[in-house]
């Protein structure tokens, strides 16, 4: 059995370790040892679900050793992690009872498989987003609509672009040590086709031998290419990137063996990374900071 020691701090900066591990082990029994996890954010939780789902989809038997930290266990429970995990993992350890949501949670972990799921997500977030965006981030009231459009588009990506199962979660955090202000973290991940396969029919020919995961991400992220032949359909990842940039936020997309990012001054991520272990689908992280 392969044993993967989950990082003690599993956030957007550490999820590649989880996804890369699954990308290289193949079909077999795998234990995700999360006993020593002391901090996890929506990116980390959803990455674990995606990694376990890939192992299971390939015929393997994923197992998850639960954290021994009671605060982490309670947080996982409040975010609805175990509701999704029970259909993927054999869980080793005591699963706590689910209690009421956290005050700054805009959306607990929610599975996306159909258009109806996207509509449910947007309806739920709109009920909570106004207060959080205004009081925590200092955004104007009109930002709720723009925020909802971003969330709708990245969720719709799972249904139309990815054609595979996926999950979304959204929460506000006080990044006192890291940034000195509040942020909203959005994570959307799927294990479907990925950008390269989705865009190939319309755009691969113009790139020739250069077509791959990295060039597909650049085509969508920088040039606004979509899977549709006409440019007027869909908001597109490029437009989402521009709105995130207006809010001084970051957006990172991993697909296949590559990752691309819109990097603000407060972040230290690399704009483009290639040569990662192959992982199916697309994994999107958006971080929106409070107004200075």
Q: Give the pLDDT of residue 158.
A: 86
Give the pTM: 0.94
Q: Token digits for 113?
A: 């498989």
Q: Give the pLDDT of residue 99.
A: 74
**Is the Cα torsion angle 47, 123, 262, 228 positive or negative in sign?**
positive
By the 8 A CB rule, do 79 and 108 touch? yes
Task: List per-residue pLDDT tens for the chain, 292 residues long.
Answer: 889 999 999 999 999 999 999 877 766 789 999 999 999 999 999 999 999 999 999 899 999 999 999 999 999 999 999 999 999 999 999 999 877 766 788 999 999 998 899 999 999 898 889 989 999 999 998 999 999 999 998 998 888 777 768 999 999 999 987 889 999 999 999 999 999 998 888 888 888 999 999 999 999 898 888 765 544 444 578 889 999 999 999 999 999 999 999 999 999 899 999 999 999 999 999 999 999 8
Q: Token digits for 205?
A: 């020919």
Planar angle of CA 195, 200, 203, nearest 5 degrees: 105
CB count, 10 Å around CB of 278? 15
First-to-final CA distance of the chain: 49
Write the DSSP symbol of residue 98.
P
Q: Token digits for 172?
A: 């506000």
CB count, 10 Å around CB of 142? 9
Q: How far is CA 139 from CA 2, 24, 190, 263, 291, in A?
A: 46, 42, 29, 20, 7
Beta bridge partners of 49: none
What domains lie within the chain, and their CATH numbers? 1-100 (3.30.750.24), 102-292 (3.30.565)
3-class DSSP state of 108: strand
3-class DSSP state of 25: helix
CB count, 10 Å around CB of 242? 13
């Amino acid at each position: 059995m392969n044993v993967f020691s989950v990082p003690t701090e599993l956030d957007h900066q550490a999820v590649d370790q989880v996804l890369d591990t699954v990308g290289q082990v193949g079909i077999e029994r795998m234990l995700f040892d999360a006993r020593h996890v002391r901090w996890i954010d929506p990116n980390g939780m959803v990455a674990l679900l995606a990694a376990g789902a890939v192992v299971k989809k390939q015929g393997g038997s994923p197992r998850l050793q639960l954290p021994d930290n009671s605060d982490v266990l309670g947080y996982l429970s409040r975010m609805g992690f175990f509701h999704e995990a029970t259909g993927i993992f054999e869980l080793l350890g005591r699963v706590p009872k689910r209690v009421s949501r956290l005050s700054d949670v805009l959306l607990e972990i929610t599975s996306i498989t159909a258009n109806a799921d996207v509509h449910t997500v947007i309806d739920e977030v709109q009920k909570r987003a106004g207060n959080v965006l205004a009081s925590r981030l200092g955004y104007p009231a009109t930002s709720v609509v723009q925020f909802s459009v971003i969330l709708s588009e990245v969720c719709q990506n799972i249904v139309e672009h990815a054609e595979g199962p996926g999950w979304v979660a959204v929460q506000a955090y006080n990044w006192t040590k890291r940034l000195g202000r509040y942020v909203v973290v959005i994570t959307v991940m799927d294990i479907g086709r990925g950008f390269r396969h989705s865009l190939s029919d319309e755009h691969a020919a113009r790139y020739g031998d250069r077509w791959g995961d990295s060039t597909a991400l650049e085509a969508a992220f920088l040039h606004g290419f979509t899977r549709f032949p006409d440019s007027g359909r869909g908001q597109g990842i490029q437009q989402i990137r521009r709105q995130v940039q207006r809010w001084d936020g970051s957006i990172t997309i991993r697909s296949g063996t590559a990752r691309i990012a819109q990097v603000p001054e407060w972040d230290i991520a690399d704009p483009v990374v290639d040569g990662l272990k192959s992982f199916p689908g697309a994994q999107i992280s958006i971080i929106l900071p409070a107004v200075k």
